[in-house]
Amino acid sequence: GQTRTLALIVSDLSNPSFGTMASAAEDYARRLGYSLTVHNTHDDVKREAAYIQAVTQRWVDGVLYVSAEDELSSQIALEEAGIPSVAIDRIPEHYDGPSVILDNVKAGFIAAQHLLDLGHQRIAHISGPRRLRVARERVAGFVQALEVQGFVPVAREEGNWTCDSGYTGMKRIFDHTEMLPTAIFAANDRMAIGAIQAINEAGLRVPDDLSVMGLDDIEVAAYQNPPLTTVRQSFVELATLAMQLLFALIEKEQPDKTQLVLEPELVERRSTARLAKQ
């Protein structure tokens, strides 16, 4: 009764992280004799619902999905159709089903702690969309690390994961912050890269005037000028673990764990530096 077809539903294929995830998932599926269809929701819940309906009607054997929003509607529809599924990367609020995610609170904490260890106290943050749990968790970890040492963010802006939103967020920090930060943590590498462009245009240098760090460790992070300090999450590992979990569910096995959490890892490069004495 199997179709030997799987579906991957992602929120934004223009994001290189999700492209890496899709490639790794397709490779894994192919090795086991399955085909993988990929559906791009563009963070549109209506489009996501249409794709969920389509895959349930085609009776695919399993689904991996990155939620467009913090809603459980996709999971409910898949459960009603009896299709095994695993949520990956973005987990809806109150979701307690099979999932593979990064420890996002710890990732935010690691980023802030790295900048604090370099002597920075005036640290700003450009977050992802705060409507998403993943963005709120990274903010929470970041703020927690600062509060432990008696500090608060000097500025907080909200982006949408793109380079452009990091660029505009950094410009807003320049325009509306009385005492400029000495360090910036952007909640993903693309926004960090956009922030660096705004810093360069302002006639400042990274890391001499401002340290900048991101999160994800996408391929181009190591090839920026300067190379970007970041907190790594492996989207290949995310996809591989999610596929392993999905196949266990398809085969009606009982995995020891159905909620897997990846450990973040600091990758220190040259976009962050010890604060010069002021």
Reported as a single tens digit per residue, the pLDDT across 236-278 is 999 999 999 999 999 999 888 999 999 999 999 999 999 987 5
Reported as a single tens digit per residue, the pLDDT across 93-123 is 888 899 999 999 999 999 999 999 999 999 9
d(CA 69, CA 86): 16
Considering the entire predicted model, what is its pTM? 0.94
pLDDT at 93: 80
Return the percentage of the chain with pLDDT > 90, whole number: 84
